[in-house]
Amino acid sequence: MPYRILLIDDDPSISEMLEKFLSKEGYFVLTAFNGEEGLALFLSEDIDLIVIDIMMPKLDGIEAIKLIRERSTIPILIISAKDTDVDKALGLGFGADDYLSKPFSLVEFSARIKASIRRVTKYANDTEPIPHQIFTFGQLTVDLHNYSVNKENEEIKLTSKEFELLKLFITNPNRVFTKDDLYNLVWQQHYFGNDNVINGHIRRLREKIEDEPSNPKYIKTLWGIGYKWVSN
């Protein structure tokens, strides 16, 4: 069965172009032209990935993402002409997985789609035993087998990229990862200096697992170098 992609964009020309391109790539594409239509399709259809614009009528992309994230960790890729740090941080902060600024190349668009689906299918098909499946750090517990995270006995919902970042950190304690490392290992792409994507995910992950996100205990920043996980 082809992967099912929900495309939400109020620009008919862009929507038609991307729908034709994705269909030729072998995906089944559903389209919506505003946030309300997109949310309705998400709730009624079986969707594998969402591509969404920010500026739309009735319900904008940010509000739609917030509502989707209350129900699902489905991969979400933002495409938008609002290419500012504020918009990127806002979109990623509410749970988007990646961001592409319009105009973008179809080659890069395809690579982002494939990388997101590859991560999701890896989780679904990963049957290899993990020697050490459960990690505990104070009140934080991470189960790599069930892909679950609990803090003080309450479940924490992570997106696929947030979980993959966390998994990478906790299985490599005290190892320093540069942003280039993280982009290659988690996004499975070359790093082109897009700090907003990585910084946004790290910030959001800290907000979910750290007691004091502004003074993190676990995910430490090495300024000018990268990040590392400190477990003691």
- What is the residue-averaged pLDDT of the chain? 85
Query: pTM for the full model?
Result: 0.62
Calculate mean pLDDT across residues 106-132. Answer: 69
Calculate mean pLDDT across residues 165-175. Answer: 91
Q: Tokens for 76, please give them.
A: 């979400």
DSSP string, 56-89: -SSS-HHHHHHHHHTT----EEEEES--SHHHHH
Which amino acid is residue 221, in one-letter code? Answer: T
Q: How far apart are CA 65 and CA 95, in angstroms?
A: 7
pLDDT at 129: 47
Q: How confident is the model at residue 134 (pLDDT cuts 50, 70, 90)?
A: confident
pLDDT at 216: 93
pLDDT at 133: 80
Q: How far apart are CA 31 and CA 152, in angstroms?
A: 41
Q: How far apart are CA 213 and CA 215, in angstroms?
A: 5
